[in-house]
């Protein structure tokens, strides 16, 4: 069984973009086109519709993709059953402070309860720093907010979409038009959310003082101070049951992608693929 060939077919069918698949798999686009033709020849029906907007998977293509994913899953289970995987396969995994607080506990719980034999060593830093560490091979992979800088040797697979909010206490609602100096509370100064809000404050010529507070519950306490706002992931606000808060609808995009990043030439390493599958299930 050529499991790598099956993984390549799943990638092509899932992404529906041969140019993007070529970047991630290190195949040429013409080589992937030939593989699509071979797939369609093997099953006798088209897996893609060719449209002006690009490739669109057909119903047959979707069925074929599900079949290939089932084969992959059964093969993984077979290898685990015979002990073919090395116990406690080590993964040096990077994440940001915010992402760890959202996904860290569910990840640890799934690794334990599902008896997934991975030894995940966490490294926590800003998204930009983690991004560079994967590029420098200091880390095997990472889950972070999508960074501004993209390294050509890395794959950036979107696994979730996050939103963040600008909040204050309901008792101290701020009128930004008055240009009053404010204090901005953040979990991490290197967070992509922090960067987005700081850029907005600077664009609007607002004076601010940046304070890094590592405790999410403490941030709510600090919001009781006048002229104080905070930026937090929406899921964290819900998770920590924030009350008596005011949400600001400011004129900028508060949506960021959460991406799983890894070296393209290491994309077929079993421990990295295993961890990616677990994270996709959680996210």
Average pLDDT taken over every residue of the chain = 88
Q: What is the dihedral of CA 183, 184, 189, 191, to 10 degrees?
A: -170
On the question of pLDDT at 90 being above 70, the answer is: yes
Query: pLDDT by residue (tens digit) across 207-241?
Result: 999 999 988 889 999 999 999 999 999 999 998 89
Lowest mean pLDDT among 105-109, 167-171, 193-197, 265-269: 265-269
On the question of pLDDT at 89 being above 80, the answer is: no
Question: Contact 116/110 with Cβ under 8 angstroms?
Answer: yes
On the question of pLDDT at 84 being above 50, the answer is: yes
**φ/ψ of residue 264, rounded to 5:** -60, -40
Bridge partners, residue 232, by sequence = 165
Euclidean distance between CA atoms 196 and 69, whole angstroms? 38
H or E element, residue 263: strand 255-263
Q: What domains lie within the chain, and their CATH numbers?
A: 3-81 (1.10.10.10), 89-162+257-282 (3.40.190.10), 163-254 (3.40.190.10)
On the question of pLDDT at 265 being above 60, the answer is: yes
Query: Greatest CA separation found in the chain?
Result: 68
Span 108-134, mean pLDDT?
86
On the question of pLDDT at 254 being above 80, the answer is: yes
Lowest mean pLDDT among 86-95, 148-157, 165-174: 86-95
Best CA proximity match to 248, nearest among 162, 167, 163: 167
């Amino acid at each position: 069984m050529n499991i790598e060939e099956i993984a390549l077919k799943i990638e092509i069918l899932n992404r529906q973009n041969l140019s993007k698949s070529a970047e991630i798999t290190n195949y040429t686009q013409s080589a992937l086109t030939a593989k699509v033709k071979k797939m369609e020849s093997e099953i006798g029906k088209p897996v893609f519709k060719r449209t002006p907007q690009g490739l669109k998977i057909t119903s047959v293509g979707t069925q074929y993709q599900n079949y290939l994913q089932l084969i992959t899953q059964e093969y993984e289970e077979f290898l685990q059953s015979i002990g073919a995987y090395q116990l406690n396969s080590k993964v040096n995994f990077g994440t940001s402070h915010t992402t760890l607080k959202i996904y860290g506990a569910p990840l640890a719980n799934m690794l334990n309860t599902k008896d997934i034999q991975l030894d995940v060593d966490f490294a926590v830093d800003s998204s930009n720093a983690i991004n560079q560490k994967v590029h420098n091979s200091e880390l095997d992979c990472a889950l972070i907010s999508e960074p501004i800088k993209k390294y050509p040797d890395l794959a950036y697979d979107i696994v979730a979409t996050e939103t963040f909010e600008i909040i204050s206490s309901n008792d101290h609602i701020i009128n930004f038009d008055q240009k009053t100096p404010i204090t901005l509370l953040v979990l991490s100064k290197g967070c992509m959310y922090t960067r987005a809000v700081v850029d907005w404050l600077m664009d609007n010529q607002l004076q601010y003082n940046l304070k890094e507070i590592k405790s999410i519950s403490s941030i709510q306490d600090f919001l009781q101070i006048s002229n104080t706002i905070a930026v937090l992931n929406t899921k964290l606000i819900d998770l920590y049951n924030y009350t008596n808060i005011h949400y600001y609808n400011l004129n900028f995009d508060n949506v960021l992608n959460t991406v799983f990043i890894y070296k393209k030439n290491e994309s077929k390493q079993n421990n990295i693929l295993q961890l990616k599958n677990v994270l996709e299930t959680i996210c």
